[in-house]
Amino acid sequence: MIPDPSPQALDQLPSPSLLIEKSQMLANVERMRAALARHDVDLRPHVKTCKSPPIARLMAEGWSGAVTVSTLREAEEFLSAGFRDILYAVGITLHKLPEVERLTRAGADLSLILDSLEAAEVVAAYCRERDLRLPVLIEIDSDGHRAGVAPDDRETLVSIGTALHQKGPELRGVMTHGGGSYGVVGEAALARHADLERSGAVKAAALLRGAGLPCPVVSVGSTPTALHARDLTGVTEVRAGVYVFFDLVMVWLGACAVGEVALSVLTRVIGHQRTRGWIIVDAGWMALSRDRGTEHQAVDQGYGLVCDIDGRPIEDLVVISANQEHGIIAHRGGLSLDTERFPIGMPLRILPNHACATAAQHHSYHLVEGSSVEALLPRFGGW
């Protein structure tokens, strides 16, 4: 953390600004710690959400210190910040291997993932040519959400595993991401999805071991499944990241309550369209992002839920439209709105649909406790 050179009163910050409610972020981190303490697993936090070393250290405290990243820029930044055990959780391609090599030779224990024999042969050939032993995990498709090998596809799993184990790289294990959990609602449904994720990864690991191949790591994870898993037998590590802030998508799933969302954007009223019941603010999609992750959920939060300066939601007000630097606030159901209650210059806070996307629009966080700003935390972007 570094001292915040801007005014120390929250209502004096420039707008738009990205805020973290300190006490809530700490509570979110503790909630994940407590949820996983019931199981014999490590937490490898996904730091793509925060992209900030001070916050990553908070997330990793009390665990092994391993982290998950989604870009090689993240790998570089977190290696520089002292994190060595890094999982790059996006399928690898040849053109990224020179950067992987550079980071590895700089001291990173940088694990890769892939889900095809073709990719495994490419990595193996590169390792032989460059005298490298890069650790690799096979990605498993445990829920039909995205990429990965089917957990019962023994032929593909063994062919990939053999190519990695015998031809240069290190076969480190399997990993899966229960991304389909973002489409189920409620504690019971999330618990069932967590078991689907676990069972898929464990089944794939057993097939590899049954073929005489090593599989020391069985990695699973998403915030909803990590918080609701009832049994993690056979799993060695869990990956999750958005829990540090939470967001409105997580609220809808039942992973958190509105009051547990720690991230918000400070904005101010800059105008009105009184006949339409609109409030115009200085936070558009450049500050909030274009993410509409709640659009098809039971409650559409527009481009974000509107709160007062203290973070309390204001009736059913949402950002219904966003231009580059302008946001339009109105009642969610189109009811009339007394715009006189929102004078020019009034500060408001917007809770995000998707914390990762909103945070990506900013270069720093203002750490807030009550009405005071305690620190300015750096964040980075790019690939």
In degrees to the nearest 10, what's the CA dihedral of 143, 144, 145, 148? 90
- Are 333 and 222 in a shared domain? no
* 293 pLDDT more than 90: no
Q: What is the pLDDT of residue 123?
A: 97
Last residue of a domain, one of 244, 276, 311: 244
Q: In which residue are the tokens 């189920």 written?
A: 184
- For the entire predicted model, the pTM comes to 0.94
Distance (Å, whole) CA 113 – CA 120: 9
Domain shared by 220 and 301, yes or no: no
Given a contact cutoff of 8 angstroms between Cβ atoms, the answer to whether 375 and 328 are in contact is: no
With H, G, I as helix, E, B as strand and everything else as coil, classify residue 158: helix
Q: What gap in Å lies between CA 68 and CA 162, rounded to an integer?
A: 25
Q: Tell me, what CATH number does 120's domain have? A: 3.20.20.10
Per-residue pLDDT, averaged over 220-240, amounts to 96
3-class DSSP state for residue 334?
Answer: coil
Distance CA 72, CA 85 (A): 13
The domain of 67 spans 39-244
* Helix (H), strand (E) counts: the chain: 11, 17
Residue 31 domain-assigned (yes or no): no
Helix/strand/coil for 236: coil
- Tell me which residue of 100, 96, 98 sits closest to 87, measured CA to CA: 100
As a whole number, mean pLDDT of residues 350-358 equals 97
* pLDDT tens digits, 167-216: 889 999 999 998 777 888 888 899 998 999 999 999 999 999 999 999 99
Whether 184 and 333 map to the same domain: the answer is no
Could you tell me if 218 and 332 lie in one domain?
A: no
Helix/strand/coil for 238: strand
Predicted local distance difference test score (pLDDT) of residue 7 = 54
Indicate whether 58 and 98 sit together in one domain: yes
pLDDT of amino acid 178: 81
Q: Is residue 21 part of a domain?
A: no
Report how far residue 27's alpha carbon sits from residue 292's, in angstroms, rounded to the nearest whole number: 26
Per the domain annotation, does 7 fall within a domain? no
- Give the total number of structural domains in the chain: 2
pLDDT of residue 89: 97
Question: For 18-41, what is the mean pLDDT?
Answer: 97
Say how far apart CA 165 and CA 43 lie, in whole Å.
Answer: 26
Question: What does the pLDDT read at residue 2?
Answer: 47
**Alpha-carbon span 79 to 267, nearest angstrom:** 34
Share above pLDDT 90 across residues of the chain, in percent, rounded to a whole number: 88
pLDDT band at 5 (very low <50, low <70, confident <90, very high): low
Domain finish residue from 183, 216, 244 = 244
Q: Tell me what the pLDDT averaged over the chain comes to.
A: 94
* Residue 237 pLDDT exceeds 80: yes
Which residues have a Cβ under 8 Å from the Cβ of 266 and sit 6 or more positions away?
10, 13, 15, 16, 17, 18, 19, 283, 347, 348, 349, 366
Type and span of the H or E element at 268: strand 263-273
Segment 264-292, tens digit of pLDDT = 999 999 999 999 999 999 999 999 999 99
Q: In degrees to the nearest 10, what's the CA dihedral of 204, 157, 240, 172? A: 100
Same domain, 223 and 75: yes
Cα-Cα-Cα-Cα dihedral sign, residues 31, 245, 175, 101: negative
Domain co-membership, 206 together with 101: yes
**378 preceded by a cis bond (ω within 30 of 0):** no
**Residues 141 and 274 placed together within one structural domain of the fold:** no
pLDDT higher than 60, residue 22: yes
In a domain, 12, yes or no: no
Of the pLDDT bands very low, low, confident and very high (cuts 50, 70, 90), residue 321 is very high
For residue 346, give the CATH number of its domain.
Answer: 2.40.37.20
Note whether 180 and 284 are same-domain residues.
no
Is beta strand 85-91 parallel, antiparallel or unpaired with respect to 67-69? Answer: parallel
Note whether residue 370 is domain-resident: yes
- Give the separation between CA 63 and CA 369, rounded to whole angstroms: 26
